[in-house]
Amino acid sequence: MGNEIILEVQNLKKYFSVKSGLFASTAGNMVKAVDDISFKVKKGETVGLVGETGSGKTTVGRTIIRLYDPTAGKIVFEGIDIAKLNEKEMKKVRRKLQMIFQDPYASLDPRLTVEEIVKEPMEIHNLYKPGERKQRAAEILCLLGLNVEHLTRFPHEFSGGQRQRIGLARALAVEPEFIVADEPVSALDVSIQAQIINTFEDLQEKFNLTYLFISHDLAMVKHISNSIIVMYLGRILEIAPSKEIYSKPLHPYTQALISAVPIPDPKVEKSRKRVILEGDITSNIKLPKGCRFRPRCKYAMDTCKEIEPILEEVEAGHSVACHLYKK
């Protein structure tokens, strides 16, 4: 693992307009799905992105690979700001920047065979000679624990775990450097989750891949990541090395998230004190003034109502956006 920064996101914003009714104004009502976030990813490492449903984590992933056009901000990938590239220029970058989706049932075209699915990205990017592509597809499948016979089959013939491997094969077909994995194991059984996670780790070692691993499962994110970004309502609340996220969570929201994760050990689990977060994540159309987490925070002070805290580094590699840690 080097110290080379492969991806730097600067002040990224992605707003969606809420239109309800035919003549609704699009100016005022905006969902601020991602609201001014910045972070860096080093080459060869895994960064975990966690948060509840509605925190904006999927939008971050999709904006980085430009499935969405950012509202503002920079996405610097290997030294080039890709936020404003046009489709043609972006195509070149996309070869290096791939995505794996959450739902292994919806993200594979049911009318294509596995061979066609895995070959398609090679055709789009004009990689390999047409005659070599099948061989290449077979190699990737074998690498992922599938075999050559699977090439002629259709997605519905596979189990969830196998489909997620096909999705991974499709992403790997173009030899990417950076993979955005959006909840890649959430839809799978625990035993299958472990298989896929191990495959992720093996591939990273083999090809020096960089991952942005998006998930709401903190235990899994902590397991696979080098550092973890905690998001809430479009903002980053904490960035921490994954070793410190359990031993030293700083933000009250991170603390609550950690305490909500069940531990598979009745001795620990039945004696643990839980911080139960009451209520649901609030809507990000009408954001509260001041800190976004204030309505659910038990440490909320007067300043929290007025001023929104900014993300500041409190220790090497550990940043938090909370007034409790202001000097």
Q: Which stretch binds other proteins (CB under 8 A): 63-71, 167-175, 260-268, 312-320?
A: 260-268
Which residues make beta-bridge pairs with 116? none
Binding string, residues 127-166; x marks residues near other proteins by CB under 8 A: --------------------------------x-------
Q: Is residue 276 within the footprint of other proteins (CB under 8 A)?
A: yes
Q: Please state the closest distance from residue 228 (CB atom) to other proteins, in A.
A: 11
Q: The dihedral of CA 34, 59, 287, 308: what is its sign?
A: negative
Q: Please state the closest distance from residue 243 (CB atom) to other proteins, in A.
A: 9
Among 266, 286, 302, 316, binds other proteins (CB under 8 A): 266
Binding string, residues 238-257; x marks residues near other proteins by CB under 8 A: --------x---------xx
Q: Is residue 52 within the footprint of other proteins (CB under 8 A)?
A: yes
Q: Is residue 53 within the footprint of other proteins (CB under 8 A)?
A: yes
Among 217, 288, 300, 325, binds other proteins (CB under 8 A): 217
Q: Is residue 20 within the footprint of other proteins (CB under 8 A)?
A: no
Binding string, residues 66-105; x marks residues near other proteins by CB under 8 A: ----------------------------------------
Q: Which stretch binds other proteins (CB under 8 A): 9-17, 62-70, 88-96, 183-191?
A: 183-191
Cβ-based neighbour number of residue 32 at 10 Å:
20
Q: φ, ψ for residue 41 (rounded to 5)?
A: -125, 130
Q: Is residue 125 within the footprint of other proteins (CB under 8 A)?
A: no
Among 258, 300, 314, 324, binds other proteins (CB under 8 A): 258
Among 139, 201, 244, 308, binds other proteins (CB under 8 A): 201
Q: Which stretch binds other proteins (CB under 8 A): 92-100, 133-141, 176-184, 265-273?
A: 265-273
Size of the site for other proteins (CB under 8 A): 43
Contact set with other proteins (CB under 8 A) = 52-53, 159, 189-195, 197-198, 201, 216-220, 222-223, 246, 256-270, 272, 274, 276-280
